Structure 1
Amino acid sequence: MNNSDPVRRFSADAVRKFETPAGDNAASGGLSELAQQVAAQYRRDTMSPVMVIGSLRLIEFSLLFLSGLGLYVFYEGFFRNLGWQYAVTFGAASLLAIILLEVADCYQVPRLRRPVANFGRLLSVWAGTFAGLAVAAFFLKISEDYSRLLFGTWFIVGFALVFLERVVTARLLRRWARDGRMERRAVIVGGGKAAETLIRSIEKQPDNDIRICGIFDDRDDSRSPPVVAGYPKLGTIAELIEFARVARIDMLIVSLPISAEARVLQLLKKLWVLPVDIRLSAHNNQLQFRPRSYSYIGSVPLLDIFDKPINDWDSVAKRGFDIIFSIIGIVLFSPIMLVTAIAIKLDSKGPVLFKQKRHGFNNEEIEVYKFRSMYADKSDPSAKKTVTKNDPRVTRVGRFIRKTSIDELPQFFNSLFGTLSLVGPRPHAVAAQSHNLLYNEVVDGYFARHRVKPGVTGWAQINGWRGEMDTNEKIRMRTEYDLYYIENWSMLFDLKILLLTPVRLLNTENAY
């Protein structure tokens, strides 16, 4: 990975130029000027290598399959002779080729960057695919039925297409790496000699995709130098949490020995609320774990502590789920939404929709839509005062739509546009309070709910934890159910929650 960016190669004097007094840090949101500048460089999302390689598999399968079908039409006409048999054969052979390419490690990023060097490996895999076809045709006694000219041409054309596609891919990968569009951004937690050894080890790995963004450590400069291996110390652990909510960080690597158990646990308790992979450096540890316990950057071993939830292809599947079912919900409930809008206008003055700032993914502020259920001059966008039973601020229509949850129906549009998911932890208003305390002051680790996108409905809601949050225990229980959902997410779990929601909404005891 090329780390020749503005973060690299700072001197201690250069870092001190950016240091600001504690009062100034508080005024600017807690981050030093240097940390803000570094965070600004990494605001843009990167391309996940997992997503890129997965897309490449689909592209190569399509190239092989469609080229085979195209040659069939050219030689035989449009499905005139053994049409479906040829289609099945092309599909099976293309799938076998992708599987063999995977087995031969041809989808590793270093190999993808050097297509010419891996020409022989690629040719061997494609030849092996045809050898498999020949063996299958021999045992099934069907080899005489197929055109040898067609398959001979497909061998040449299919290989040429895949090789040329890999040449183009290699150029794109180099460009994306150079532009910082495909990389894993990492922050080192903990400084000093251990961090320096870790950084040197990572930098020695050829073709690694790690971009080190800086170092965060609670210790002062006498115990943790302001610059380690050319990377600046950007702040404390508390400031790291804010930094990771501004910059698009993928990974935190804790460079502390496992033997420092108390300090490691203290750090993890603070950091687990972030939607990132958290790894513990294991390159200097004497304790040996099973190989499956480790992940690697080149040959540098890391212990997997936390993984970012609902990531890569899971996030694609969940987004597709949201779009499909949001459109179904909008179409299905459009008559109810139209009638509700008319009723609100007739019942009281003011807009039909009520927009409220709430906490979204990674603590970002989002705007959530609801049907207005309060008098316009008594609305409480900050939600500092919880709505209670027989609340005089609520209109006649508002009481009905709140009790039946009709007021939440406009959130199908939030889900369609991507600010909400259909299923997830319910978003709370930014200033929501319980007994004059913010929710995160009531529940330790409350912000861990925001490691995934919030939802229109959720596991807590269908288990009875909906409506007024008038006690600390209710907030804790809702958070507990939300965290259970995050740790046990699956598409089937989402579908179960979605199907159970209308049934559980019949219980209106806590909705007013």
Structure 2
Amino acid sequence: MTIDPNQSLEASPHRASLNQHAREVAAALSKEAISPRLLAGAVQAIEAIALILIGLAFWPSASSAAVPGLSELLLVVAAPLIAIFGIRSIGGYSIGALRDYLPVLSRILIGWALTIAIVAAGSFFFELQSDGRRAWLGIMFLVGATFFILERVTIAALVHRWTGQGRLERRAVIVGGGELAAELLEALGDQGRADVRICGLFDDRGGDRSPDEVAGVPKLGTVAELVEFARLARIDLLIVALPMSAENRVLQLLKRLWVLPVDIRISALGSKLRFTPRSYSYVGPVPLVDLFDRPIAGWDSLLKRAFDIVIATLALIVLSPVMLLTAIAIRLDSPGPVLFRQKRYGFNNEVIEVFKFRSMYHHMSDPAAKVAVTKGDARVTRIGRFIRRTSLDELPQLVNVLRGELSLVGPRPHAVNAHTENRLWDEVVDGYFARHKVKPGVTGWAQINGWRGEVDTPEKIRRRVEFDLQYIERWSVPFDLYILMMTPFSLINSENAY
């Protein structure tokens, strides 16, 4: 579902302050949460890699060949892939299966035996029935079965510990109250079994229509306050407990909430509309209709992070001579530190400090960015003008990338006091904070399309946000590579870079 950023919103939701109770609830939640989705993916990766290594490790003892050939390698890799697919098909990677391993372990072992049988049939098909092959298959089955038992027992112990620490949970809030919220909570039953924690209710209504507590879950505030709570508590899921027929009210809610980096679902309990089962996602037994998905989540986020670490490390190595020369030039040009830090908005609207080469005279520096730099600005040094035009002043932000505060590619992080015509940018552009649903970047889609440098009109910041939201919708690793490759060419146009 897409929201037009030019649509008018009812209010600036980020400005609503939380009540004390809501702040206490948010503070009590662990800040070291582990994503169930990422944990399930990590277990799959561990099992696949371990089974491949087992197959390779025991190969010499089962064959006269010192090294497996191509056909043998295909079988060694095929066995883990078949096993992982089978375990996924029986729900063996859900948090419930990882926590209570006994009910699923017997099926995993049976599936592993069937996998070995399939591999044996495959070896016959490829005419690999030579001496030692049967022994290898037998060893692989026994060692693999032992691995599954030990691994699942270990993971179950870890899952129990993390659950007790409040780290392994999918945090959710219910938007709405009253009878619909009560029905939803009753259907969820044991939230632990549903692998979700309902942290609270948020509703603009009051009185009997929306009491202060529903089925033991407290009402923590209004929908406007939910935006701030979701950021502080690192909420993963918003469940809208409103009739799907209340189209106008749901739309108004989405206009406020779509800026958050969370999954947004609407409860289908009691709805007269019926879709095919594949049209729903589920939390426990509750059917939900998907409205928004958190962008760049799960394995995509790990892939992007790995991409950032590898490329940023290589870039720091390659560009270190340039950075050293820049630092020397800054020191020779004017007194003061080579680097300075500036507070900017990061992922989930959190404030981070980014590193930059100093481009202003030290005594005139403006770390809060209260006054925008303009053409011919007297505060900018001679070297500062050059490094700002060429964006060399941004190179230290590669360190921010390695620290996990920035990504190589993403919406550029704006200063917390950035403004145009005496208005903060979130007041100029409705839905401005939707650009913070992903990590900000050293470069971005807006920058290579010419939207860099001074922002002196509302239209310029609107266009930047438009391209930022396009990037979030279109993200892929090839897209990031394209933006990185085009960045040097975009620096040729320094018309607005002062």
TM category (shorter chain) comes to over 0.9
One-letter code aligned to 1:151: L
- How is 1:188-199 mapped onto 2 (pairs within 5 angstroms)? 188-199=174-185
Mapped contact 2:63–2:133 kept (Cα < 8 A): no
- How is 1:121-140 mapped onto 2 (pairs within 5 angstroms)? 121-140=107-126
Q: Residue in 1 aligned with 2:385?
A: 399
Q: Residue in 2 aligned with 1:169?
A: 155
Shift of 1:45: 3.5
Mapped contact 1:205–1:297 kept (Cα < 8 A): no
Matched, 1:47 2:30: no
Matched, 1:244 2:194: no
Mapped contact 1:361–1:450 kept (Cα < 8 A): yes
Matched, 1:59 2:46: yes
Q: Which moved more, 1:124-133 or 1:298-307?
A: 124-133
Q: Residue in 2 aligned with 1:223?
A: 209
Structure 1 residue runs without a partner (length 5+): 1-27
Secondary structure in 2 aligned to 1:185? strand
- How is 1:234-383 mapped onto 2 (pairs within 5 angstroms)? 234-383=220-369
Alpha carbons of structure 1 residues 29 and 218: separation in structure 2 relative to 1, 3 Å: closer
**Structure 2 residue corresponding to 1:31, chosen from 5, 18, 24:** 18
2: distance between equivalents of 1:29 and 1:106?
42
One-letter code aligned to 2:182: E
Mapped contact 1:63–1:162 kept (Cα < 8 A): no
Shift of 1:286: 1.0
Secondary structure in 2 aligned to 1:390? coil
1: distance between equivalents of 2:209 and 2:67?
78
Q: Which moved more, 1:286-295 or 1:255-264?
A: 286-295
1: distance between equivalents of 2:356 and 2:369?
13
Secondary structure in 2 aligned to 1:118? helix
One-letter code aligned to 2:117: A
RMSD of aligned Cα (Å): 2.0
- How is 1:85-164 mapped onto 2 (pairs within 5 angstroms)? 86-164=72-150
2: distance between equivalents of 1:351 and 1:273?
37
Residue deviations 1:400-419, cap 9 Å, x none? 11111111111111112111
Q: Which moved more, 1:161-170 or 1:387-396?
A: 161-170
**Structure 2 residue corresponding to 1:437, chosen from 399, 423, 430:** 423
2: distance between equivalents of 1:81 and 1:248?
49
Residue deviations 1:159-211, cap 9 Å, x none? 12212211222232223222222110001111111111111111257821010
Secondary structure in 2 aligned to 1:357? strand
One-letter code aligned to 1:321: F
Matched, 1:456 2:442: yes
1: distance between equivalents of 2:304 and 2:270?
39
2: distance between equivalents of 1:52 and 1:107?
9
1: distance between equivalents of 2:149 and 2:293?
34
User: In the comparison of the two structures, how many residue pairs are matched?
Assistant: 484
Secondary structure in 1 aligned to 2:122? helix
Alpha carbons of structure 1 residues 140 and 372: separation in structure 2 relative to 1, 3 Å: closer
Q: Percentage identity across aligned positions? A: 57
- How is 1:66-81 mapped onto 2 (pairs within 5 angstroms)? 66-74=53-61, 80=66
Superposition TM-score, scaled by structure 2 size: 0.92
Shift of 1:262: 1.2
Secondary structure in 2 aligned to 1:117? helix
Alpha carbons of structure 1 residues 82 and 314: separation in structure 2 relative to 1, 3 Å: closer
1: distance between equivalents of 2:401 and 2:391?
16
One-letter code aligned to 1:318: K
2: distance between equivalents of 1:29 and 1:445?
15
Q: Residue in 2 aligned with 1:25?
A: none
Shift of 1:497: 0.4
Alpha carbons of structure 1 residues 306 and 45: separation in structure 2 relative to 1, 3 Å: farther
Alpha carbons of structure 1 residues 341 and 439: separation in structure 2 relative to 1, 3 Å: same
Mapped contact 1:186–1:253 kept (Cα < 8 A): yes
**Structure 2 residue corresponding to 1:233, chosen from 219, 241, 248:** 219
Mapped contact 1:43–1:248 kept (Cα < 8 A): no
Shift of 1:83: 6.4
Q: Residue in 2 aligned with 1:427?
A: 413
**Structure 2 residue corresponding to 1:475, chosen from 446, 452, 461:** 461
Mapped contact 1:64–1:158 kept (Cα < 8 A): yes
**Structure 2 residue corresponding to 1:180, chosen from 161, 166, 172:** 166
Superposition TM-score, scaled by structure 1 size: 0.90
Shift of 1:317: 0.9
One-letter code aligned to 2:389: K
2: distance between equivalents of 1:334 and 1:348?
22
Residue deviations 1:218-277, cap 9 Å, x none? 112343101111111111111111111211111111111111111111111001111111
Alpha carbons of structure 1 residues 237 and 29: separation in structure 2 relative to 1, 3 Å: closer
1: distance between equivalents of 2:136 and 2:308?
44
Structure 2 residue runs without a partner (length 5+): 1-14
Residue deviations 1:420-453, cap 9 Å, x none? 1110001111011111100000000001111111
2: distance between equivalents of 1:331 and 1:117?
51
Shift of 1:341: 1.3
Q: Which moved more, 1:196-205 or 1:266-275?
A: 196-205
2: distance between equivalents of 1:227 and 1:82?
64
2: distance between equivalents of 1:271 and 1:32?
19
Residue deviations 1:296-342, cap 9 Å, x none? 11221111111111111111111111111111221222222112111
Residue deviations 1:122-149, cap 9 Å, x none? 2321121122122223333332344323
One-letter code aligned to 1:37: E
One-letter code aligned to 2:246: A
Secondary structure in 1 aligned to 2:139? helix
Alpha carbons of structure 1 residues 439 and 110: separation in structure 2 relative to 1, 3 Å: same
